Structure formats: C-alpha cells, structure tokens
C-alpha cells in the first residue's frame, strides 16, 4: 500500500446557499467553485478483493459493506453481476446469478438488517435480497420484451408515474424503515416507500430551483431522518426532511457522484466529485473537514468513483468506473 498526500491547500470551507447552482451540465459544471479543506493523508490498497482465477471486474459501479465486514460489489461485466467477499477479501459467492432484473448495474446498499439492495438503472428496478441472497422485495418493473416502448418525440421524457422508475440511481432508509430512491437520470425526483414497500410519495422535477433536480445520483439519510440528495448536474447536495420539504443546500463539493455516511454518534458524510477525483469529508452542517484524491489510474488515484462505502470514519471502499476496480482506503486525518 502507498500513502498519498492530496494536492489541496489548507483552508476552511462551508457553503450552504439558498441560491440554486447554475452552469454547464455534464457532472462537471463549475458554477459553484468547490471548497477546500485540510488535506487528508491516506493509504490505498488497489486490489483488496480476490476474485476467482480467470475472473475480472468490469465497471465497479457499486460497493457496500455489511455488519460482518463483508464487501458486496455490483459491477458491469459481460453482464450485470453481484459478488460477495468476506472481511479478508476472499470471494464467497455470486448473488442473483442471471436474475431477470439485472440489466445495467448502478448501486448496491446494505440496510441495518444486512439486507442487500441493488439499484438497476437498465431494468428500472430496485431489488431487495435477504442476507441469504433470496429476493424478498422489488420496486419498479422491467419493461416487457414483447412490448415496444411507447413512442415519444426526440428529447421528450415520458411523465413520471407512481411505482415506476426511469433510470434510478440509489437508495437510502430512515429509522422507520422508509426507503428513499433517487430516480434518477430522467424522472429527476426522489421516490419514498414505506417499510412494507408501499408507495408513499415523490418529490422533485427537472430544474435548478431548490427542490428540483438534474440527475439526483446519490442519496443518504442521517439519524435524525434528514435526506441528503447528491444533485450531480446542478453541483450541489440538497437536504430535505422525510416528507420532502427543502431545508438547505451545500454548493461546496463540486458534482456529487457518490456519497456515504458513517454510523455512530457523530456521523460524517463523504462525497466524491468524481471527474477531478476529489473526495470531501463533511460534517452534518456542511463544513468541509478534509479533502483528498485526484484523478488517475495509479493506485490511490481515482477513475470516476461511482459509489463509496464508509464502514468507519477512516475506512472507505470506492468503486470506480474507468479503472474497473474497488480500492480500500485507510485515512489518516490530522489530529
């Protein structure tokens, strides 16, 4: 493993604005300049997971860790696959082999009961597995192969409907077991389901105003029930209560491709601005506690971080699109 010193100048940064982000699209528009913070040193293990002989990852778009320390990787290979590894990186099994709802992987998350949730952008489905790997709940529905899509004019997105998705991206839960799905590339909204999988409501439309979205790409919740939505193309994180009421936004972390939140009495959020390869550490007030990383292919550099898991404050797992790998990072923040 190697130790890295990100090239970020020391400074303090907080930006909570009621003014919507505006500027060029593409997950890299810089209408709001990213903030800076203390540089965080870190060790990177670029290959902590041991695949069976002859197997490789494709685009490692999803990574999650359960209470046992097992690591789950949702990747785009020759077809979408979900793998489980033990706490030492040893391959255990493939889950959902040849599953009907596995079309184009986007994210995997683990809930407090170690259930495994996969968000598939291609099938427009969210699939819940129990810890044994059995499907126990599904949201959304894959289009039937025998039915052609309804014709629409070029550039026109069909209206959003209840209980359906249009390229969903991520999922999070509150203490009551409600699910929040970021839905996503086309519907530009957050969908809420209760603990039994019943549709509750949705909020958001395409736009730049507070409460609107342009590619809500990542989502987390805190212990108080606040919902943090990474509004990627608008270069901001928007914060809501569980009913979808807009509370505030942070515009100091570039384009949030991936977020994770730690457990414990003082949670922190990590957010990846993935094109320049920066990862930000924030408290729940939006203050930048540290920054690290840069784009590249070498160990410890990042090629479009697409999902992160943070089982502890100083341990991160990052799945990368461009580098076809999952790295394990050990952070060494200044005391």
* Model confidence at 21: pLDDT above 80: no
Between 10-14, 31-35, 195-199, the lowest mean confidence (pLDDT) is in 10-14
- Give φ, ψ of 259 to 5 degrees: -135, 150
Q: What is the share, in percent, of the chain residues with pLDDT greater than 90?
A: 84
Report the DSSP pairing between strands 227-231 and 236-240: antiparallel
pLDDT at 295: 98
* Mean pLDDT for all residues in the chain: 91
**In the structure, what pLDDT confidence band is assigned to residue 4 with cuts at 50, 70 and 90?**
low
286-313: average pLDDT: 98
H helix or E strand, kind and range, residue 248: strand 246-250
54-67: average pLDDT: 98
CB neighbours of 153 closer than 8 A, spacing ≥ 6?
A: none
| Residue pointed to by tokens 């601005």 | 273
pLDDT at 43: 98
pLDDT at 266: 96
Q: What is the share, in percent, of the chain residues with pLDDT greater than 70?
A: 90
Please measure the distance between the N-terminal and C-terminal CA atoms of the chain and give it in whole angstroms: 22
CB 231 within 8 A of CB 253: no
45-69: average pLDDT: 98
- Give φ, ψ of 241 to 5 degrees: -85, 180
DSSP output for 65-125: E-TT--EEEEEESSSEEEEEE-TTSBEEEEESTT-TT-SSEEEEEE-TT--EEEEETTTTE
Q: What letter does residue 47 receive in the DSSP assignment?
A: -
From residue 73, how far is each of 58, 113, 287 by CA, in Å? Answer: 10, 18, 30
Alpha-carbon distance of 319 to 309, in angstroms, equals 9
Alpha-carbon distance of 190 to 169, in angstroms, equals 10
From residue 181, how far is each of 8, 16, 23, 210, 228 by CA, in Å? Answer: 33, 24, 26, 18, 11
Alpha-carbon distance of 246 to 18, in angstroms, equals 10
* Model confidence at 134: pLDDT above 90: yes
Alpha-carbon distance of 85 to 280, in angstroms, equals 27
User: What are 222-261's pLDDT values in tens digits?
Assistant: 999 999 999 999 999 999 999 999 999 999 999 999 999 9
Q: Which CATH class is domain 2-55+162-332?
A: mainly beta
Q: Give the chain's largest Cα–Cα span.
A: 60
Cα-Cα-Cα-Cα dihedral of 264, 267, 270, 271, to 10°?
Answer: 130
Higher pLDDT, 9 or 300: 300
* Model confidence at 9: pLDDT above 80: no
Residues in the chain: 335
* Model confidence at 24: pLDDT above 80: no
Work out the number of other CB atoms within 10 angstroms of the CB of residue 12: 11
pLDDT at 3: 56
pLDDT at 112: 97
Alpha-carbon distance of 331 to 244, in angstroms, equals 34
Alpha-carbon distance of 182 to 256, in angstroms, equals 13
Higher pLDDT, 23 or 325: 325
pLDDT at 34: 87
User: What are 180-193's pLDDT values in tens digits?
Assistant: 999 999 999 999 99
User: What are 136-176's pLDDT values in tens digits?
Assistant: 999 999 999 887 667 777 778 889 999 999 999 999 999 99
pTM of the model: 0.91
* CA–CA–CA angle 291, 296, 301 (5° rounding): 45
């Amino acid at each position: 493993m190697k130790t890295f010193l990100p090239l970020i100048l020391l400074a303090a940064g907080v930006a909570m604005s009621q003014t919507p982000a505006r500027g060029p699209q593409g997950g890299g528009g810089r209408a709001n300049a990213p903030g800076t913070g203390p540089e965080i040193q870190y060790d990177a293990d670029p290959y902590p997971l041991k695949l069976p002989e002859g197997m490789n990852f494709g685009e490692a778009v999803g990574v999650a860790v359960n209470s046992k320390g097992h690591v789950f990787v949702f990747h785009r290979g020759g077809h979408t696959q979900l793998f489980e590894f033990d706490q030492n990186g040893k391959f255990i099994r493939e889950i959902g082999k040849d599953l009907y709802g596995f079309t184009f992987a986007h994210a995997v998350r683990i809930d407090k009961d170690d259930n495994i949730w996969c968000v598939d952008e291609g099938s427009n489905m969210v699939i819940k597995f129990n810890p044994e790997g059995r499907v126990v709940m599904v949201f959304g529905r894959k289009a039937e192969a025998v039915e052609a899509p309804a014709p629409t004019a070029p550039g026109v997105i069909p209206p959003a409907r209840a209980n359906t998705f249009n390229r969903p991206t991520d999922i999070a839960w509150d203490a009551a077991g409600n699910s929040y799905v970021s839905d996503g590339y086309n519907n530009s909204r957050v969908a809420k389901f209760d603990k039994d999988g019943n549709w509750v409501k949705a909020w958001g439309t395409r736009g730049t105003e507070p409460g609107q979205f342009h590619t809500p790409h990542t989502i987390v919740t805190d212990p108080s029930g606040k919902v943090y939505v990474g509004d990627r193309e608008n270069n901001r994180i928007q914060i809501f209560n569980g009913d979808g009421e807009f509370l505030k936004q942070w515009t100091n972390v570039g384009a949030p491709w991936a977020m994770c939140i730690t457990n414990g009495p003082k949670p922190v959020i990590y957010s990846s601005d993935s094109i320049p390869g920066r990862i930000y550490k924030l408290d729940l007030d939006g203050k930048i506690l540290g920054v690290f990383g840069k784009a590249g292919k070498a160990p410890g550099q990042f090629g479009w971080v697409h999902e992160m898991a943070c089982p502890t404050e100083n341990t991160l797992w990052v799945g990368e699109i461009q580098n076809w790998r999952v790295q394990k990072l050990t952070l060494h923040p200044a005391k």
